[in-house]
Amino acid sequence: MATTLAASIAVASARGSPVRAGGVERSDTWAALFLALLAASFGLYLGALLVLRSRGGNLTLVCLLAVAIQLAPLAGPLLLSRDAYSYWAYGRIVASHHRNPFTLAPARFPHDPSTRAVARAWRRQVSVYGPAFTAASAGLGQLAKRSAETASFLFRAAAAVAGVGATLLAAMLARRKAYAAAFIGWNPLLAISFAGGGHNDAWMLVLLLASLALVAQRRDVVGGALWILAGAIKAPALLILPLQLLRSRRGVWIGAAVAAIAIVGVATAAFGSAWMTSVLRVDQQESHYGLPARLQQLAVPAHISRALAYAVLAGGALWLGREALRGRPRLALGAALLLLTSPWVLPWYSTWPVALAAVAEDGAGEVVALAVAAYLLPDRIPF
């Protein structure tokens, strides 16, 4: 598994490979080889999970291998997406230009080195990320100075550390500790997304698992506050929050409320009110792997496909709410439902249900999370 993952990173690093961010696609050979190796790594990962589930394993060895897998892509280039450059650009708008990335896009600063690194399609897009992540991006942007390579590595390293942290938190939370640690830490798609792509989903997920760990230790106020902080990194955390709150103790509600008030106040003072609505712009995008797009591929009109997706989302949310009221907050299934009914879905979003399934003791959640990851595995690989 680690060997095939390392081989896929080597393929991505090869001269002429379009898998590296910004690479020019001249042939499908490199992309096909990368996908084959990544798929092989994912298959071995599934086999290893079956063994660990039935026989158990040594937690220390599982965690050491998880660290190696999650850090391995740092040896290669930025993979599949240039989002890390967008993070850098938004951070520089705050730190270097002293302006608001929720109202001004990178294109407004054409001579900034980060603008030239951002993918062309996103240069006119204002930030859709949470205010806490934007503030952190400003700090990392200052460290990177004017170097795109340094900025990319910093965001990738931060995401990789968060991935390792999520692995260790899963081991702390779950009954089957070695299995839970491997569920996150051995997943090659997480490694490619975090250490390879630098995606901020890793930050959100480690905060969600930290929140669950604190609540499990009855440190409810801090646990509730951390969940809101995760939402201030990336908004989807807030959409899953109701499943957690429905049967939570009063302290979780208090912590979440106090943190929400504090973050809203600080973020509004720093960025005005634009940060509250910027994330809605993502809903105007559509990717090929979401339910609405799949229905349109079957000749269903766009407005009907979106309506059907929202109907599935509403029906699933009602069922999940009933489950939560019965004491089963099926967070992984909630994340998967949110993901698949959204018009905008990307492969690194599959990390959401995977991380939550690892600690949920929910067999259906585990199967769905792995199925979603397998389904999204080939997305964004250039052919």
- 194-209 confidence digits (pLDDT tens): 999 999 999 999 999 9
Q: What's the CA gap between 261 and 151, in Å, rounded? A: 32
- Tokens, residue 222: 């801090």
Residue 288 vs residue 144, higher pLDDT: 144
Residue 328's nearest CA partner among 214, 247, 249, 264 is: 247
Q: Which residue has the tokens 């912590």?
A: 255
- 37-73 confidence digits (pLDDT tens): 999 999 999 999 999 999 989 999 999 999 999 999 9
Are the C-beta atoms of 361 and 175 separated by less than 8 Å?
Answer: yes
Q: What's the CA gap between 269 and 164, in Å, rounded? A: 33
| Mean pLDDT for the stretch of residues 105-112 | 96
Residue 123's nearest CA partner among 110, 135, 111, 136 is: 110
- 181-192 confidence digits (pLDDT tens): 999 999 999 999
Other residues' Cβ atoms within 10 Å of the Cβ of residue 224? 29
Q: What is the DSSP letter of 194?
A: I
pLDDT confidence of residue 288: 84
| Mean pLDDT for the stretch of residues 348-354 | 97
Residue 371's nearest CA partner among 337, 330, 322 is: 337
Residue 274's nearest CA partner among 118, 105, 141 is: 105
pLDDT confidence of residue 242: 96
| Mean pLDDT for the stretch of residues 90-102 | 96
**Kind plus residue range of the DSSP H or E element containing 221:** helix 220-233
**Kind plus residue range of the DSSP H or E element containing 256:** helix 250-271
Query: What's the one-letter identity of residue 47?
Result: G
| Phi then psi dihedrals of residue 79, to 5 deg | -115, 140
pLDDT confidence of residue 279: 67
Other residues' Cβ atoms within 10 Å of the Cβ of residue 122? 17
Longest Cα–Cα distance of the chain, Å, equals 58
pLDDT over 70, % of the chain: 98
Residue 17's nearest CA partner among 5, 4, 29, 7 is: 29
| Mean pLDDT for the stretch of residues 307-314 | 94
Half-sphere exposure of 184 (CA within 13 A, CB side): 38
pLDDT confidence of residue 161: 98
DSSP sequence for 123-155: TTPPP-S-HHHHHHHHHHHHHHTT-HHHHHHHH
- Tokens, residue 274: 């634009």
What confidence tier does 21 reach under pLDDT thresholds 50, 70, 90? confident
Q: What's the CA gap between 248 and 270, in Å, rounded? A: 32
